[in-house]
Amino acid sequence: MSTEASPTSPLDERLRAVVRTVPDFPRPGILFRDLTPLMRDPEIWKLTLDGLARRVDPLKADLIVGIEARGFLVGNALALVLGRGFVPVRKPGKLPGMVEALDYQLEYGSDRLEIQSGALDHGQKVLVVDDLLATGGTAAACASLVQRVGGEVVGFGFLAELCDLGGRTKLPGPAPVESLLLY
């Protein structure tokens, strides 16, 4: 289980100063953590990716799997930093060719994820990446899809985690969960 950087650490303070909190979005009572400002400044974005890379590199993943859509931004950049390959997991109808799909339930309905058939080799070690861990439903479904097509989930990596929502409890153990910022 990951531990948050000390609130007084220079990296933690620097990143938190850039993350924008938007009240009442997407509905009243929600504090939305907008992580996209981290990407605007190349120096901050590099610090962010390097910080997450230090956390997940010991997991020794062969591939990074990024969840649509912001998981593509984080996952692809992280794969480049770590020198690993990248595979997207998408919403229905976005990938060409044969796909494997998984329907799953969310707190407000259902959804579906897809991965291209043959995107993973049997037994490949996979790190599932997204920008934010909230309730955990989508990341858990992504892990199930990875396992269904023969991958081994060795961990999860997130830029931020909303701890009060308990998302990490929905993720399959014993795969570690690494979150750079905890809210």
Active site residues: 70, 107
The residues that bridge with 129 in the sheet, in sequence order, are 66, 157
According to DSSP, the β-strands at 109-116 and 99-106 are antiparallel
Alpha-carbon distance of 177 to 46, in angstroms, equals: 21
Residue 35 C-alpha from the chain's centroid: 12
Residue 42 parent element (H or E): helix 42-56
In angstroms, the Cα distances linking 113 to 11, 23, 123, 131 are 34, 29, 20, 17
> For residue 112, which phi and psi values (nearest 5 degrees)?
-145, 140
Cβ atoms of residues 180 and 15 within 8 Å:
yes
Residue 146 parent element (H or E): helix 137-148
